[in-house]
Amino acid sequence: MEFVSEVKWKPDSSVSELVAQFKANGFQSTELNKASSVLYKIWSQKAKVILSFTSNMVTAGLRSLFAQLISLDLVDAVVTTAGSIEEDIMKAKGEKFPLTRFRADDIELHEKGHNRIGNIAITNDSYGRFEGVMKDLTENIFSKKESMSVSEFLYEVGGNLSDENSILYQANKKNIPVFCPAITDGSIGFHLYLAKDKNPKIHLDVIDDFKKLMFVMSPDDTKGFIALGGGVSKHFGLLTTMINGGADYAIYMTTSSGWGGSLSGASTNEAKSWGKIKDDSDSVTVLGDVSINFPLASFSVLDRLKKEGVI
């Protein structure tokens, strides 16, 4: 029988040591420790990895970490949402997002041209400059080829960026596909509409990306799935694990619960009923703020992999 142990600070202790202490704590700290363990197995075994995340992860500051994981060859495909794409481009072009308050005066923010996401704001001025960036990008990319898949378009966007902390830049450099099945669900969708309105021959094929995603991994691969948040990015990524026999390893991190039947709140256990995750998979669902939990889990594993010479 295992008993609860106490968390205790030690001078010069590392993130790895802190997460290791969570193993015998209760509640979500236990699950976070398990997530770290599963993540180590995924990366140390060089499993085929799909990383899915929602746009608020990029807003909150996890963008550079995602880019770093791609640069370290720890990700084989990314599935995300339109907001992630536009904010990655914005930040690559030098935009900065002001911190505000969860209980800010939203009417006052609106009058100032600040759009609130939790305790972060994105200014109308940033979106205004983004319009100019997208005009240049679409003119440059579609002048060479008018019809392509969304992932091909995002690959080309990455090739036009020069920020080492950019997800799209690193994905281009490593030839890692970035899938965004709901590319029109955001400001970037409006700018793609403007480009197509100017040149009706422009076409982005989302169905072709469905085919490409199916072949990111095969039934014979050791498969890992990391879902940060939920929604379309999580669901789209899980389609390939389901078609290819289920994930061997899976980590879900979310603030949503499963009681409402949403995919965002669905646990790794629920995924087994669909065959998205294997019955004997090593999997875990961590409930809580991903902007805290994922850096803790990933940093602890990266420290270990660095010591072992894996990265």
Q: Hey, which residues are catalytic here?
A: 276
Predicted confidence (pLDDT) per residue in 189-201, tens digit: 999 999 999 999 9
How many whole angstroms separate alpha carbon 47 and alpha carbon 224? 6
Domain 47-94+124-290 falls under CATH 3.40.910.10 = yes
Predicted confidence (pLDDT) per residue in 97-113, tens digit: 999 999 999 999 999 99
* pLDDT value for 98: 96
Residue 1 has pLDDT above 90, yes or no: no
Helix axes 63-71, 82-92, angle to 10 degrees: 90
From first CA to last CA, the distance across the chain in angstroms is 36
Show the tokens assigned to 212: 């490409």
* pLDDT value for 276: 96
Predicted confidence (pLDDT) per residue in 31-83, tens digit: 999 999 999 999 999 999 999 999 999 999 999 999 999 999 999 999 999 99
The pLDDT of 259-270, averaged and rounded, is 92
CA 132 vs CA 86, 89, 247: distances in Å: 12, 12, 41
- DSSP H helices, 60-123, are 63-71, 82-92, 106-112
Q: Report domain extents, the chain.
A: 47-94+124-290
Q: pTM for the whole thing?
A: 0.96
Q: Which of 256, 257, 264, 255 is nearest to 290 (CA)?
A: 255
How many whole angstroms separate alpha carbon 230 and alpha carbon 217? 21
Q: Calculate the dihedral angle through the C-alpha atoms of 40, 46, 47, 49, rounding to the nearest 10 degrees.
A: 80
Residue 186 has pLDDT above 90, yes or no: yes
Q: Is 183 exposed, middle or buried (0-12, 13-18, 19+ CB in 10 A)?
A: buried
Helices (H) and strands (E) in the chain, counts: 14, 10
- Quote the mean pLDDT of the chain: 96
